Amino acid sequence: MSITLATRPRADIALVPLQDEAARLDRDDTTGSLIECIDAVFAHHPDLALLVLEPSDWMDHADWPRLSEALGGGRILRSDFYQQPWHWLQHPPSRPEQSPFEVGSGHPRRPAKPNGLVYRRADPRLERTFSLRLIEPERDLERFVRWMHLPRVAEFWEQAWPADELADFVAQRLADPHTLPLIGEFDGLPFGYFELYWAAEDRLAPYYPWASFDRGLHLLVGEEDVRGARFVDAWLGGLSHYAYLAEPRTRRLVLEPRHDNHRLFRHLERLGLSRLRDFDFPHKRASLVMGQRERFFREVL
């Protein structure tokens, strides 16, 4: 069957079914990025596990050498494709030689925080570009204060503080080597605040058997017009994708939301995040939520 994908830029391709969960991608008039074309095919065909590209059709395409070198030819597994950083990751991924284990602690030395834009991907299903960048106090503090004072946010974050206290909070997060405070954007418009943290150095560590590269998530959506399941799929899927791309040794993502955050729980399983059990923090009754790298790349993206 021939289909036109609303990628940016546009691509016309012929998708030929081969067998269960596999298809061949035939070239018709692909005018843009082959990587974005493959991304769109997988996004619009969630049951498709394998794409086959005939080298004779594609070897003169500008993206073919990079694609072939990274994936070993024209048989493209969904799970392998999305574990490549391509143009989505905006800084080099962490490498073992850059984060040796600190003597006596059992914890790796964490890489330096990236600056500015860290991740960007045009989401083929939402047809918006999701991006993440480091929070900038002079640019973001006013909206961050506004978000923290929204009743639905204050109910769970419990940080409807004065602006100067929230400014100190942001400064502390930026200075903390174990936490990465990020602003999420759709098409360049800020809509939320997210934190990625190393669980082994977090207050969560005593409550579960952590692994050295487990990454934790804190989530805040501030703008009303990007709420709902299709937006959650884009931003939480994108945030998880970034965490796995930035550190290839991260095998698990963890969250510790309040146990009664039922609106959040409705979305998590769909995005490969399972609620395991409840436990008591000193300040709240929480739920331990965990996602696995293999499941994410097999079922979510």
- 217: its two tokens: 């998530």
Q: Is 256 a catalytic residue?
A: yes
CA distance 145 to 185: 17
Contact 260, 209 (CB under 8 A): no
AA identity, residue 244: Y
DSSP string over the chain? -EEEE--SS-EEEEEEEEETTEEEEEEEEE-S-HHHHHHHHHHH-TT--EEE--HHHHTTSTTHHHHHHHHTSSEEEHHHHTTS-TTTBSSPPP-GGGSPBPTTT--BPPPPPP-SEEEEEEETTTTEEEEEEE--HHHHHHHHHHHHTSHHHHHHH-----HHHHHHHHHHHHH-TTEEEEEEEETTEEEEEEEEEEGGGSTTGGGS---TT-EEEEEEE--GGG-SHHHHHHHHHHHHHHHHHH-TT--EEEE--BTT-HHHHHHHGGGTEEEEEEEE-SS-EEEEEEEEHHHIIIII-
Q: Which entry of 256, 269, 294, 299 is annotated as an active-site residue?
A: 256
Nearest CA to 156 among 77, 264, 5? 264
Q: Return the active site residues.
A: 256
